[in-house]
A and B are shown apart, each in its own frame.
Chain A
Amino acid sequence: MPIQSVNDFVVRFANVNGSGSASANELFARAVLRMGIPVAPRNIFPSNIQGLPTWYEVRISESGYLGARGGTDLMVAMNPQTWDKDVGGIEPGGYLLYDSTKPMPKTKFREDITVIGVPFTAICNREYTDPRQRQLFKNIIYIGALSALLDMDVAAIERLIAEQYKGKEKLFDANRRALHLGRDWVMMNMEHPIGLRLKRANAVGDRIFIEGNAAAALGAVYGGATICAWYPITPSSSLAEAFNRYCRRLRVNDSKENKFAIVQAEDELASIGIVIGAGWNGARAFTATSGPGISLMQEFLGLAYFSEIPAVIFDVQRAGPSTGMPTRTQQTDIISCAYASHGDTKHILLFPEDPAETFDFGAAAFDLADRLQTPVFVMMDLDIGMNHRLCRPLTWDDSRKYDRGKVMTAAALEAGADFGRYLDVDGDGIPYRTYPGTHSTKGSFFTRGTSRDRYARYTEEGPAYADNMQRLLRKFETAKDLVPRPLQANAEKPTKYGVIYFGSTSPAMDEAIEMLESKGQYLDRLRVRAFPFHSSVTSFIADHDFTFVVEQNRDGQLRSLVVNECGVDPVRLVPILHYDGTPITARFIARAIGEHLDAFKVTPLRKVIS
């Protein structure tokens, strides 16, 4: 029986990388949004420029589920290389749209799906002579076919094309024509619409559709970053590029001079070195990188921790270790960031759940770095960074002032303030600093990665070293109340079980909770948003017999961090781990947690016997 569903299904496009499919697929997702129906698209792409398989998955969900769902209801199979796998991945009762120009043997199909053949290549060959046009317009033609098959609002698609080619009438006409070629062919030659349909709804509201990397870049612009040093690495490159784009729009003065400086450095070591040099000199600076870059930056991160220099690092995580899977998502740098560098270190981590929070945390990171005089990591991942995500609009309070932290001015020095660079004046572990060039005779100091006393004088005296290390711990304690707090949501019914999760797991977790509750399984949940952990993390765990820790890595890195930092008995923290490089799904979480909950409920053998 073919699947019947309105505004709730998954369409997956199978394409060849470099064939121009990305913009057509995005057009499809945007058109659904314009019909008032939430979508969550995801790029599944290879580390390659041309020729390898790539997929674009669009989850359509009027209920607003934005996590990956898993499974495919409608496969748009445009890549012969992956045909068998693509056809195999369709849900029973699902649909297959394919290019029927060349006949395919019957064995290549399945009995339990609806097969829709449209001769895309034949249409293109008939209409176009230029090979590149044939390739590019084929993409728009299949969107046209989909518009008829899914009963889409074709005017919404046309409006989007008009916006895209504003002022380029010829391109608009050509694209619209291609759209109708596909649409008309379906309307004339086959039954339509199919069992999967789109019906105008009103479920999008004022939400925006943005990639996390772009939102992070905007956060840096609004947070007052003036210096960006970076080295290209997937999946973070588009963050630095977006910063460049937004700065050119928002940070150029009337004389056409730039209120920003962006350096594409020679490597990640230079990137973080530039950031630290700028931070030392009183400018807000950041780098964007991924796991391998974090590995390279370790020595410098220890310097910034120990000599107390503000720095912001956007880590768009990908699957490791080593080169790993550069274009696949994971939450896998938690430990290497939390304890970056040799020696005893602890760093501030922020875990945004989506682009909107990435914007907020991105801007806040600069205040935190200045306030705490230390590196701050914004822990994103490929799933957030490189996919368009529907999220609340970005907001900014115009009365907000940048918190530049404890900076001693020339006036304070002149008034005779006792300046010791590493002197804990206020008892919060945070000392005062001066910017270079502040005063002609007072307030200068020598910054070093070697041990020093409270007045920044070199020393290898044990007590002075320990005194400084203890103060750094006090500073980290202070940070607990400054970083974003965890968000707790309790189940409707009291429960002995809790779940801790963070970052891009969020939408899948929300959906999984509903799935579990529908089976009568209740969980309190805590979304951790920063490290160091707030005291509520420890109390949440104490309040439950067992707490699941859901994360996207093999080793349960956040769980290890909780065990280590909160002094929790590891037995009570049950790891739920998803690490194959695909985004975690609600189905996975609900099944994994559900199995554990079922196991907890098994009646002990002794009871049965007696």
Chain B
Amino acid sequence: MTYIVKPKFHHPELPKNRLGYTHRDYEGKISTLCAGCGHDSITAAIIEACFELSIEPHRVAKISGIGCSSKTPDYFLGNSHGFNSVHGRMPSVLTGANLANRDLIYLGVSGDGDSASIGLGQFAHCMRRGVNLVYVVENNGVYGLTKGQFSATADRGSKSKRGVTNTDNAIDMVGIALQLGASFVARSFSGDKKQLVPIIKAAIEHQGAAFIDVISPCVAFNNHAGSTKSFDYVREHNEAVNFLDFMTGRAPIHVDYAPGTVEMVEQHDGTTLALRKLDAEYDVHDRLAAMSFIAQHASQGQIVTGLLYVEQDASDLHGHLNTVAAPLNSLGEKELCPGSAALNAINAGLR
């Protein structure tokens, strides 16, 4: 659909954010994905989240791997630099980019083929290093671009469009992210924008490794009966544990929920998350309980969604490496080159 030129005019009274930007300023090129694709809803949610947070688009770096999901960074934040890298290797490219300039916001977009199969290793190591990023997996359980093969997140026993039953166990990326120390872990559904947008906003503000698994049905190859990643199946089995209201530190906190149903979570950067608890027992600060809760529900065919874990005092890779506050890419000879006198001293020590 790239032959369609996106019209530039828009309604004069479109709402503007703090920067004076409208939604349109957060859009990208027209999507070339199939009509009705879940990924386009995630794109819309990212646009909404960035608009509402009044993020300057050019302060975001969008990095992806290969696949349908990895194409989407072209469809949002047109004024951001994007990097559609190598299959399964978004995490390493993003890690390098993040090390080069700690001042930008890093949005890693990937799919289940990209991150759970070919890139499982890089996904895992990115999580355990605590790279400050938002890692979105647009999870449809299927290889779309190559026409419908199972991916590694397809549930055992689920059926492909061609009628083949999957006999391999599924990889639960949320479980892996929790186990490996991601400091913000959430799952959502592309069909539930109300749940997804606040999660993306909270993840962006989170200063550490934030992982979001978004179930995103593939309308072309994985939306049939027998699939566990179809719109109908996900709607029927969605077990949301909470609902998030995102507030910045600047806005006055106003809560009008029934007592005991809301938990206010202060984040490191001064933002506050108002967690509306749908499951009274669920504790978002207990990593081990979260893993067990999710696994138990998965065994009953339930898909647990919501903010599943958050570490309030998260640290990130720059903290671990004790790097200077200035972006490394801004340093020049003066800061980096020790000069000839130091070299002569080194020479003297080598005789």
Q: B338 near A222 (CB under 8 angstroms)?
A: yes
Q: Distance (Å) between the CB of A78 and the closest chain B CB?
A: 28
Q: Which of A447-490 contact B (CB under 8 A)?
A: 447-450, 458
A257 contacts partner chain B, Cβ-Cβ < 8 Å: yes
B249 contacts partner chain A, Cβ-Cβ < 8 Å: no
B59 contacts partner chain A, Cβ-Cβ < 8 Å: yes
Which residues of A are found within 8 Å of B104, using beta-carbon distances? 281, 436-437
A394 contacts partner chain B, Cβ-Cβ < 8 Å: yes
Q: B61 near A269 (CB under 8 angstroms)?
A: no
Which residues of B are found within 8 Å of A448, using beta-carbon distances? 83-84
Which residues of A are found within 8 Å of B336, using beta-carbon distances? 221, 224, 226, 251, 259
B156 contacts partner chain A, Cβ-Cβ < 8 Å: no
B314 contacts partner chain A, Cβ-Cβ < 8 Å: no
Q: Distance (Å) between the CB of A258 and the closest chain B CB?
A: 5
What CA separation (Å) do A458 and B337 show in the bound complex?
A: 39
A20 contacts partner chain B, Cβ-Cβ < 8 Å: no
What CA separation (Å) do A449 and B67 show in the bound complex?
A: 13
Q: A447 near B84 (CB under 8 angstroms)?
A: yes
Selected contact of A283 from candidates B59, B89, B99, CB within 8 Å: B99
What CA separation (Å) do A218 and B350 show in the bound complex?
A: 13
* Binding stretch for chain B, among A194-202, A271-279, A534-542, A587-595: A271-279
Question: Which B residue sits closest to A208, measured CB to CB?
Answer: B350
B24 contacts partner chain A, Cβ-Cβ < 8 Å: no
Question: Which B residue sits closest to A359, measured CB to CB?
Answer: B343
Q: A258 near B95 (CB under 8 angstroms)?
A: no
A369 contacts partner chain B, Cβ-Cβ < 8 Å: no
Q: B83 near A259 (CB under 8 angstroms)?
A: no
Q: A437 near B58 (CB under 8 angstroms)?
A: yes
What CA separation (Å) do A440 and B94 show in the bound complex?
A: 21
What CA separation (Å) do A378 and B85 show in the bound complex?
A: 24
B103 contacts partner chain A, Cβ-Cβ < 8 Å: yes
Q: A218 near B346 (CB under 8 angstroms)?
A: yes
Residues A396 and B340 in contact in the complex (CB < 8 Å), given A258-B323, A261-B321: yes
A-B contact count (CB 8 A): 230
B: contact size bracket: 35 or more
Residues A394 and B343 in contact in the complex (CB < 8 Å), given A227-B100, A229-B96, A440-B58: yes
Which residues of B are found within 8 Å of A279, using beta-carbon distances? 96, 100
Chain B 303-334 interface mask (CB, 8 Å, partner A; 1/0) = 00000000000000110011111011101110
Q: B347 near A393 (CB under 8 angstroms)?
A: yes
Chain A 270-314 interface mask (CB, 8 Å, partner B; 1/0) = 111111111111110100000000000001100100000000000
Q: B96 near A275 (CB under 8 angstroms)?
A: yes
A209 contacts partner chain B, Cβ-Cβ < 8 Å: yes
A439 contacts partner chain B, Cβ-Cβ < 8 Å: yes
Q: Distance (Å) between the CB of A136 and the closest chain B CB?
A: 25
A263 contacts partner chain B, Cβ-Cβ < 8 Å: yes
Q: B79 near A441 (CB under 8 angstroms)?
A: yes
Q: B100 near A273 (CB under 8 angstroms)?
A: no
What CA separation (Å) do A444 and B196 show in the bound complex?
A: 27
A83 contacts partner chain B, Cβ-Cβ < 8 Å: no
What CA separation (Å) do A393 and B78 show in the bound complex?
A: 51
A250 contacts partner chain B, Cβ-Cβ < 8 Å: yes
What CA separation (Å) do A15 and B263 show in the bound complex?
A: 68
Q: B100 near A444 (CB under 8 angstroms)?
A: no
Q: A270 near B125 (CB under 8 angstroms)?
A: yes
What CA separation (Å) do A263 and B129 show in the bound complex?
A: 9
Q: Which of A95-141 contact B (CB under 8 A)?
A: none
Could you write out 19 A-B pairs with CB less than 8 Å apart?
A208-B347, A224-B333, A226-B328, A259-B323, A261-B323, A266-B124, A269-B92, A271-B92, A280-B100, A283-B99, A283-B329, A303-B86, A398-B340, A436-B80, A439-B58, A440-B79, A446-B74, A446-B82, A448-B83
Interface residues of B (CB under 8 A from A): 2, 56-59, 61, 63, 73-74, 78-86, 89, 91-101, 103-104, 121-122, 124-125, 129, 317-318, 321-325, 327-329, 331-333, 335-340, 342-344, 346-347, 350-351
